[in-house]
Chain A
């Protein structure tokens, strides 16, 4: 397989190596099938994996997941681990939507029970869960409240009665990232975030009602509380304008740091600073704060969804049984301990469009899941499927405990809009058995299923490569989009 003048070496049916060349400090490693590689080499994602390999302190390899596509600086679907002492941190390695992620709520209901009133239920969710540009959340934050959100994350939501102890336990990092410092977040970023807590946003963010269509791993599904035919809610959102602004602010800070420290990299969007520098340290404090905002945001969205179900169905919480299965981010950088060259090392793992997937036995996953591994939530293209996976030991060996994050785009937004000109996406989706309520028909057209890779193929690669294992397939029956 070739990318321009670069020969990419096939290691197995699911793994490809980009050899070191020029200023690359480590090789590149792509997880993909042969057919997917054909798509991947068509845009600039491979070049970006190679560019990331130039970063100071990068360990083992610069990694691309099967849902990889062209980003800015780092590719979307990229993983890079840096030595915690000598390495750098790069805002472009996390992305603008800091700690964007997914949460899955399970219920005791089957979709068959919901189906007769599904249209009204989707309408209610669309009204009650704020989405689209300019929407504001149901909580009014003072400046002091917002600072607490930045430090406490989901635990702030719990203090206001919007989260249970179980919600906190089933959120990655307990819904609170350590070392967050609101002082490291700019006034503008805080201004952008003040009214947006508890809002879905726009673009590829969504809330969907799913049916558990297929179970692959009975034991893990049982541990996660999932069964065939079950109704579940999947929420995809992030840190809203606050996170975007934090990334934007620090890209400028780090471009200046690179100039002063004569760090030369192939792309300006790879701007970085040494982890131990004041600039690197301050970004990590802001990153944790924005990450906490994202946890609190998804918690409020889940609270609104749960309350809407209860009110609409006239049920009590114990009859509905709507509990959080898990909440995991897919845009972050976290300090973790991994084995490198036979020795345990503290590293900073950048995951941009990649999900942490720790195996059974890990102390960092809820005790109830520790015998089966961390739940990993992979949203797919609208109207097709989403997947629940579980963490596996192989991921610790080859991908710094990381796996894919979604379907990954294959068509540009302009192509997507052109391909649906004159059609009603809402009607098309309804024919496929998916009710859609949306804030913007323009965004909806850009998010048609054909614009994405087939999530089943993406998941098959990570399953076959052993960097996660399939637990259940979800089939969307209704979607609320921003």
Chain B
């Protein structure tokens, strides 16, 4: 029987929402869905899967590419090769996916955000979402995929009957890489997730010296200043101000993005804002696909003009 093996993304006892996307693409692919997860109490709708395989091991052991490969070998020796091994395109999902691709010499397409059933083609983002590549595997057999969060969840549905549950009893644990501890982000006084109005700046501001002028504009607008990852990486703004998958998820009334291109990791952190306004000199910038209002212009000029109007 042809099946797809879904590797659950779990973290500190939570069955991540992103697992709906790995399930959703399975529904499109029309495969029997076999979920692999640690044998721990997670809350989720089990009736959406045909089979659930629970590996008797700790979550941190499961979330390690060296260990998951061994678990999957056990699944394959019991059930035969899957048509697909599917993971979320998250920090741990993508890490395990590519390691397995190397270990088992399998094709891998990462960050898949679309599937064309008729042509059996996967869409993958290139050049920060300016172009998509249509990919297919060039060989028979198992293909590994990681899927972009939010791309396929609308295709999920419940099965007619409850899933079969199976167990993997013995999991071997690699000594070559071991979990030590979690490290939490430091708490700071500014919480951008609470702001109603965010003025968010990206690499397009050019350099650190521009920050005070954007801070001044934020002050005049009574907005809070946030930024995209490069702005934080370059230490132009503190880490607590970062919007995106590896920063904060924000839902302000207004998100005013200046000089931000709209890479998926950024969009994922702000797309649910009530109103998104984007200013960018590149009319093709992907952020305009998510914005409610757009301005094609030099951000510095817009900033200075706004300051003029507001001060005058």
A is bound by B: no
B-contacting residues of A (Cβ < 8 Å)?
none
